[in-house]
């Protein structure tokens, strides 16, 4: 049973790592796109709406893919002023409770309420309201659900890791700290 939970946590973190790195690569695409848009606008007074909207779509994907990655690597904003004074046991309890009681249920809730918007956008093949804008608006809308799905995955990993620590197992022996 311990092996199954550990494997689940490791796989969850591997998915979060992979998607986070993908989000990082999208940053390069976004920077290149912004450069091309700005160059075209000032050099040729040409800047199609679809290229401008693509910037926002890429930005949505970056955020969606990167937020759980930031949590995974402790690059998120935390209240360190308080937590730095706590023992390892208290920190493990806090991490477990935040992940299991707040992050997972909230993620499920937000996924649940975004699905109808995504489905509706897909059903009508919603596109940009602007002439020359991008079609398939359901894709950036789906990024909200993707973000919360990845947050839930990372919360599962944090719950498992914290649970192992509280049970006296060395979680770092099972989880990599890349």
Q: Directed axis angle between helix 49-72 and helix 138-166, to 10°? A: 10
Domain locations along the chain: 2-174
| Residue labelled with tokens 């800047």 | 47
Task: Give the whole-angstrom CA distance, residue 147 versus residue 121.
Answer: 18
pLDDT tens per residue across span 144-165: 999 999 999 999 999 999 999 9
Read off the pLDDT of residues 30-57 as tens digits, 9 standing for 90 and up: 999 999 999 999 999 988 999 999 999 9
Place of tokens 């993707």: 146
Which of 93 and 80 is assigned the larger pLDDT?
Answer: 93
**What pTM value is reported for the model?**
0.89
Question: Are the C-beta atoms of residues 75 and 23 closer than 8 Å to each other?
Answer: no
Contacts of 76 (CB under 8 A, 6+ apart): 67, 70
Long-range contacts of 97-101 (CB under 8 A, 24+ apart): 98/158, 99/154, 99/155, 99/156, 99/158, 99/159, 99/162, 100/155, 100/159
Residue of higher predicted confidence among 2 and 176: 2
Tokens of residue 125, six digits = 């093949």
| pLDDT at residue 168 in the model | 87
């Amino acid at each position: 049973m311990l092996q199954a939970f550990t494997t689940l946590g490791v796989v969850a973190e591997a998915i979060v790592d992979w998607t986070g790195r993908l989000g990082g690569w999208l940053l390069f695409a976004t920077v290149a796109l912004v450069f091309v848009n700005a160059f075209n606008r000032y050099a040729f007074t040409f800047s199609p709406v679809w290229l401008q909207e693509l910037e926002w779509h890429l930005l949505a994907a970056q955020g969606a893919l990167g937020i759980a990655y930031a949590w995974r690597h402790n690059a998120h904003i935390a209240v360190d002023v308080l937590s730095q004074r706590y023992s390892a046991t208290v920190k493990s309890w806090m991490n477990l409770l935040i992940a299991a009681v707040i992050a997972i249920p909230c993620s499920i809730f937000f996924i649940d309420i975004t699905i109808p918007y995504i489905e509706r956008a897909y059903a009508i093949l919603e596109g940009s309201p602007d002439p020359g804008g991008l079609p398939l608006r359901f894709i950036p809308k789906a990024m909200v659900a993707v973000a919360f799905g990845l947050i839930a995955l990372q919360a599962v990993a944090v719950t498992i890791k914290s649970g192992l620590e509280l049970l006296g197992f060395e979680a770092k022996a099972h989880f990599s700290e890349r």
